[in-house]
Structure 1
Amino acid sequence: MNYKGTVCALALVTLFSVGCTVKNSNQTAPQAQPVAAQSSATVETTSAQSTAEIAQNTATAQAVASEINPNFKGVGSYARENSSQYNNGNLVITDFSEGLKIFEFNILSGNEATDSATTYRLAGIFNVDAGKAGVGEFDSIVAGYDGKIKFKLSDDGKMINVTAEGEKNQVYVGSYSYTHSDFDISLGLVKAVLEELPGAATGLTREAGKYTIKLLDNGEPLAGEYYEAEAVNKQGQVIGAYVISKDLQLVLRTDIGALTAIHGQLTPEIEAKIAEALPKG
């Protein structure tokens, strides 16, 4: 794993611990919200970090679990309860590998009186822990987000209750109810996956220095289900080029010769499909 920080957490079967990356967006409200309709509210930024700084300095924390439970069922899209036009959000959870899940919060927090709102995004990887009673938590390692966030999944998998320490983490607090099984790909999810994988595989090593990850073609998929991404250093050089499947189960390098799987299994059929869809030259 290409961990950039350390977190210790304990959890029961219906609890989980996470490590995270953080991204604040200062211009757009959460997309595809399964809650109240968005307004044309002016979005304000409360973060002291710029988008560029956050993109270059996102960190993925390591979660330490005593026993991994690969059968955790809290997978899908969840909408925050008691939402309104200016205060709503969702939570995505999906599989990454055995015992590991990917998550992303997408929160809109605002004020009707001032017709303004702020978008908060938080994405990362967490371990599923079945070995301890009653606790699942993470410590954020990104400046301004210290404190613990705790998650509890209901027995039927249809509700996740989120509590938190730290003033800036309060925006994620609430109950999230299950809405559907699929989700939209996002830059936050892609970054979480790439920064979790070993640097030797992704090219995102300490020696590479600061970099920015971006989705290509405005996030439009290849062949309907594969997304291109690049990591670019401060000099504007591409240090890694990737194709990621819509379900995040397959990650390929495309800049080191032949298509090379660095996460998941690449079959000849999928390889041919992607090779045909990739831009030529």
Structure 2
Amino acid sequence: MTNWAQPQFGGAPRSIARIDTRTGTRIVVSDLTNPAQGDVFNCCVAYFTDLALEKTGTIVASVTWFVPVGAGRDVGDVYRIDSNTGQRSLLSDFTNPAQGATGSVPSTGIAVETSGQILVDSHGSAISPVPKNRLLRIDPNTGNRAVLSDFDNAAQAPLGSRLSGIALEARAGRIIVGAGNPASTAADPTLLFRIDPQTGQRTLLSNSSDPKQGPPFVWISEIAVVPEKANDAGFVAAPTTNSLASPFGPVK
């Protein structure tokens, strides 16, 4: 999990912590202020925007950093982190055109496909002259970035902005991403899209403004897909007869 720093240290998630699920014991795995573990950002406010695990157990984490004074400029990277030592190595530098698409920074949302490729939500940097709301696919070996789905491109179907949250549908391999209404640059991410992993084509899965689909979203942040055969896959609503009963059924 990411861990927020105290306000005097920037008030942002600057470390990754591991929690023992049996005892609740916490340890810091990697701290962006610790130079012994890799790059630090003494010039700037830097924070983890999200993280995911690779098959090998290593962590891939997106990082955004910016100078808090002067002209606004934010920069993004993706790091690979040793889950035992916390050592960080730069995998993809979002300012390096040799690695692909530039002009954007990571937003909340990173996932690892079964192929090992890495998906990252991104948005235009503060100095980008045009919106760059893009779902990026990153090669896990080279760090090279390719635009899988450009949410500013109507040819790939419904538009979106301010990408936030990502999950994979295990059986079909399709991608679920949250985004905002592009009609307003300040719109909170309240639309849920399904994306074809081959073409990047989007379909609107859940529209927050449609009351027929249920209560509206306030802000889509993190997304998870419940496996079809999981014990809680049939969960619809909390029971009305016993407020203490589990909505997922008896423990097995």
Same fold (TM over 0.5): no
Which protein is richer in helix relative to its size? 1
Interval of TM-score (by shorter of Structure 1 and Structure 2): 0.3 to 0.5
Structure 1-normalised TM-score? 0.30
Of structures 1 and 2, the one with the larger relative CO (CA 8 A, separation 6+) is 1
